[in-house]
Amino acid sequence: EPEVTQTPSHQVTQMGQEVILRCVPISNHLYFYWYRQILGQKVEFLVSFYNNEISEKSEIFDDQFSVERPDGSNFTLKIRSTKLEDSAMYFCASNPGTGSNQPQHFGDGTRLSIL
Amino acid sequence: DAKTTQPNSMESNEEEPVHLPCNHSTISGTDYIHWYRQLPSQGPEYVIHGLTSNVNNRMASLAIAEDRKSSTLILHRATLRDAAVYYCILRDVGQGAGGTSYGKLTFGQGTILTVHP
């Protein structure tokens, strides 16, 4: 069964540095998402992406964050000037298409640790 | 976003059925009811979804109340691998050009299911 893959599984970065989290969504999917989960807290939506542009973003997704689909397969989340509070699990997800009846497929996440 | 209410935790014994309840009294007519679960150290995993009728798949069954204000996820024979956090989510239909739905998921705290050997 096709999977969403994320790399790296764990990223350790100094505060203030930039970090790029990478995801390969399922190949025929059209809608892409990033979520984050701070340790012990619930999963929070960050951003959705369709047709090469952001379709929706949360209040968390401020100017520090950006997303990109640089080629036909990768979907990246860039965090500029990281802060201690950015430490979390970051999950990428994808949908096959439109409609609220579409299952969403998640990767196993990247654990981001900011020192 | 329409809100769901789930118990914080439930326990079960291995090979016994588990009924995980969810209340969603403010559900709208076009909201689908989705269930996801998150095993330890993994991303959320789709389990099942439905609109009005009960649904079955290889993982579970979903029983939806006639008024759609509640639903129950049924694991017919719990295994140790079913120990996870289970989330009941009403699928949010985003507003976009041409009425396209972008479908972000809004997670609550979920129900922590413990399965005893």
Residue B61 has pLDDT above 90, yes or no: yes
Maximum C-alpha span of chain B: 51
Residues 6+ apart with CB under 8 A from A71: none
Interface contact flag, A43 B109, Cβ < 8 Å: no
Burial letters for A7-30: b for 16+ Cβ neighbours within 10 Å, e otherwise?
eeeebebeeeeebebbbbbbeebb
For the segment A64-84, what is each residue's pLDDT rounded down to a tens digit? 999 999 887 899 999 999 999
Q: Phi/psi of residue A87, each to 5°?
A: -60, 125
Interface contact flag, B108 A42, Cβ < 8 Å: yes
How distant, in Å, are the alpha carbons of A26, A34, A107 from that of A22?
A: 13, 10, 11
For the segment B65-102, what is each residue's pLDDT rounded down to a tens digit? 999 999 999 999 999 999 999 999 998 655 444 444 46
Q: What is the DSSP string of A24-57?
A: E--TT--EEEEEEE-TTS--EEEEEEETTEEEEE
Please check whether residue A100 touches B, CB under 8 A. yes
Nearest to B87 by CA among B59, B48, B50: B48
Interface contact flag, A103 B92, Cβ < 8 Å: no
Residue B1 has pLDDT above 60, yes or no: no
For the segment A81-114, what is each residue's pLDDT rounded down to a tens digit? 999 999 999 999 998 876 667 889 999 999 999 9
The DSSP call for residue A16 is T
Please check whether residue A96 touches B, CB under 8 A. no
Q: Is A69 exposed, middle or buried (0-12, 13-18, 19+ CB in 10 A)?
A: middle
Please name the member of A95, A100, A106 whose beta carbon is closest to the beta carbon of B44. Answer: A106
Do the bridges between strand A53-57 and strand A65-68 make them parallel or antiparallel, or are there none, so unpaired? unpaired
Res A97: pLDDT: 77
Extract long-range pairs of A25-29: CB within 8 Å, 24+ residues apart. A25/A73, A25/A75, A25/A92, A25/A93, A25/A94, A25/A105, A26/A2, A26/A94, A26/A96, A26/A105, A27/A2, A27/A73, A28/A96, A29/A94, A29/A95, A29/A96, A29/A97, A29/A105
